Amino acid sequence: MTVVSAVREVDLIIRGGTALTMSPRDGIVEDPLIIVDRGKILHASPWDPQMERQYRPKETLSAKGRLILPGLVNTHTHLPMVCFRGMADDLPLMSWLRDHIFPAEAKFINRETVYAGSILAIAEMILSGTTTCCDAYFHESSVARAAVASGFRLIPCQGFLDAGPKPGGDLTKQMEVARAFLDKWRGPSTLIVPALACHAAYTCRGETLQAIKKIAREENALFMIHLAETREEVEEVRSRFGTTPVRYLQKLGVLDGQTLAVHCNWIDSGEIDILAECDVKISHNPESNMKLAAGMAPVPTLLLRGLDVGLGTDGAASNNNLDLFGEMSIAARYHKLKEGNPTVMDATVVTVMATVGGARALRLDAAIGSIEPGKAADLILLDLSKPHLTPMYNPYSHLVYAASGSDVSDSVINGRIVMRDRKLLTIDADAAMEEVRAIARTIGRKTSI
C-alpha cells in the first residue's frame, strides 16, 4: 500500500530555461522550477521532479530556451505623455517645454486622454519587460485606474505644482488632495501603492514641499521630486534661494530614505554627501537626459557611496519610448566613456539597477525585484533563440548590451500572466493604439497613420 500525498493546486508553474533570480543567495539557476500561487512566489529552485509532483498548476509557462528574470522596474514615468511622443523633438529645452508640451497639456490633457494614454503606455511597458513603474502626472487617478484594469503594478504619485500649465490651489486644499489620494488608493488593489510628488524645488513653494513631505512621512508614503535636472534649474534655485537644489531641500527638511530624487544631474560632492547621509533614493533617466541635453547623474559615484539608484525612462515626449532595455544599454555605456573606464557599470550592476535596485529605490524591495519565495510573482521571460542573442556566454551581458524590449516573450505580474508569446492578455493593443491616434488627430499635427 503506497502513501498518496496530497497534491496542492497552485496558480502557475514556470519550468526550464535559465533564471537570473537577482537574489544574492540563489544567483543564476539553470532549469528552475518556479511555483506561483495567489500572486506570490511559493518556491524557486533547480528543477526537482518530486517537488513538482506535489503541485497541480492551473497554468504553466515553459521557459525552455528562455531567460527568466524579475520584471523590470521603471522608477520614473509620465505615462500619458505617450500622446505627445515625437510631437516636438530636437528643440531647445525651454522651447520644447513652454511652446509645445505645456500648451498641449493645457489643451488636451483630461481624465479621458490620461486614461487612454496610460493604457497604451502600459501595453508598451509590458511588451518591453517592465512590470512596475512609478508615475506622476495630472489626473493620476486615471493612471491608477488604467494600471488596475491592465493588471500592472504602479506607484501613482499625486503631483503638486505651484507653477506651470496647471498650478495647484492653496496649501490647505493641496494637503486635502494629498491625503484623499492616499486614502483612495490604499486598498482597492494590491497592485497600487500610492505616493506623493512635488514637481521640483523651482516650481513648488517651500511651504508646499514641506507640507506634502510631512503628509508623506505621516502616511509612510514615497515622496518623489525632480531634482537638479538642468543647469538652469540649479541657477534658478541659487538665485532665488541662495543655495543649490539639494542643499535647499535639505534645509527644508524634505530629504530622507523615503524621498525619490529624479535625475540629480548637477550635484556637487557636498550634495552627494547630503544625499548619502539622508539615504535619498535616486532615479537615473539617461535617454531622456541625453535627448534634452539636460545633463547626466554621476551614477558610478552614487553607487560607490551606497546609494540606491534605479533606472527610469521619463515620459515618452522626451525619450521617446518606455523601453528600459535602452536605458540599460545607455547607462552601461555612457558612464564607461565619461569615466574613461570600461570596467564601471558592468552588466550585473546595470541589471541590478533595472530590477532589485529599482525596487529598492521605490521602497518596494520587500515585495518585488527578485525571484525569491515570499515575493510577488513579477517575472518576465526573454526568448534567446534569436541571431542577435547567439551565442550566449553571459546572460547579464546579453540583457544590457545586446537585447531589446522586443525580446521579452512573456510577462507575469502578481502571479497573473499578462503577456504570453508577445500577446497581451489584459490589454486590447489595437484599440489602445486607435484611441491614442484619435487623440493625436485632435492635437492636429500631421500623423501619417
Site for a copy of itself in 100-129 (CB under 8 A): 120-121, 123-124, 127-128
CB 74 within 8 A of CB 27: no
Residue with cell string 547623474: 297
Which residue bears the cell 488636451? 108
User: For residues 299 and 440, which CB has a smaller minimum distance to a copy of itself in the complex?
Assistant: 440
Regarding 437 and contact with a copy of itself (CB under 8 A), the answer is yes
**Would you say 108 or 223 has its CB closer to a copy of itself?**
108
CA distance 420 to 61: 8
Q: Three cell numbers at 387?
A: 541571431
The distance of closest approach from Cβ of residue 127 to a copy of itself in the complex, given in angstroms and rounded to an integer, is 6
Q: Which is nearer to a copy of itself, 275 or 316 (CB)?
A: 316
Alpha carbon 63 to its chain's center: 25
C-alpha span between 244 and 242 (Å, rounded):
7
Nearest-approach distance from CB 116 to a copy of itself, in angstroms: 11
Does the footprint of a copy of itself cover residue 431 (CB under 8 A)?
Answer: no
Q: Is 1 in the site for a copy of itself (CB under 8 A)?
A: no
Residue closer to a copy of itself by CB (options 96, 115) is 96
Rg (CA), the chain: 22
- If one asks whether residue 425 binds a copy of itself (CB under 8 A), the answer comes out as no
Q: Is 296 in the site for a copy of itself (CB under 8 A)?
A: yes
Query: Can residue 295 be called a binding residue for a copy of itself (CB under 8 A)?
Result: yes
Site map (CB under 8 A) of a copy of itself, residues 405-424, x = contact: xxx-----------------
Nearer to a copy of itself, 38 or 64 (CB): 64
- Of 82, 143, 182, 224, the residue at the interface with a copy of itself (CB under 8 A) is 82
Amino acid at 263: H
How far is it, in rounded angstroms, from Cα 144 to Cα 135?
9
| Contacts of a copy of itself in 158-197 (CB under 8 A) | none
Nearer to a copy of itself, 127 or 275 (CB): 127
DSSP label at 289? H
- Tell which one of 320, 351, 370, 409 touches a copy of itself (CB under 8 A): 320
Distances (CA, A) of 239 to 2, 114, 203, 300, 409: 82, 35, 14, 29, 50
Longest dimension (CA), the chain: 86
Please name which of 79, 100, 81 lies closest in space to residue 90, comparing C-alpha atoms: 100
Write the CB contacts of 143 (distance below 8 Å, at least 6 apart in sequence).
Answer: 79, 80, 114, 115, 118, 135, 137, 154, 156
Q: Give whole-number Cα distances, 22 to 25, 27, 365, in Å.
A: 9, 6, 11
Work out which of 7, 8, 27, 30 binds a copy of itself, going by CB under 8 A. 30
The Cα–Cα gap between 368 and 146 comes to: 20
What is the sign of the dihedral through the CA atoms of 392, 396, 399 and 402?
A: negative
In whole angstroms, the minimum distance from the beta carbon of 337 to a copy of itself comes to: 4
Least separation in angstroms between CB 310 and a copy of itself:
20
Return the number of the residue (97 or 182) whose C-beta is nearest a copy of itself: 97
Which of 48, 66, 148, 71 has its CA nearest to residue 358?
71
Cβ-based nearer residue to a copy of itself, 13 or 125: 125
291 binds a copy of itself (CB under 8 A): yes
- Applying CB under 8 A, does 321 fall inside the site for a copy of itself? yes
CB 424 within 8 A of CB 127: yes
Site for a copy of itself in 332-361 (CB under 8 A): 332-334, 336-337, 339-343, 346-347
**285 is an interface residue for a copy of itself by CB under 8 A:** no
The nearest distance, CB 287 to a copy of itself, in angstroms, is 6
Min separation Cβ 378 and a copy of itself, Å? 20
Least distance from C-beta 9 to a copy of itself, angstroms?
31
Our finding on whether 323 is near a copy of itself (CB under 8 A) is yes
> Does 393 help bind a copy of itself (rule: CB under 8 A)?
yes
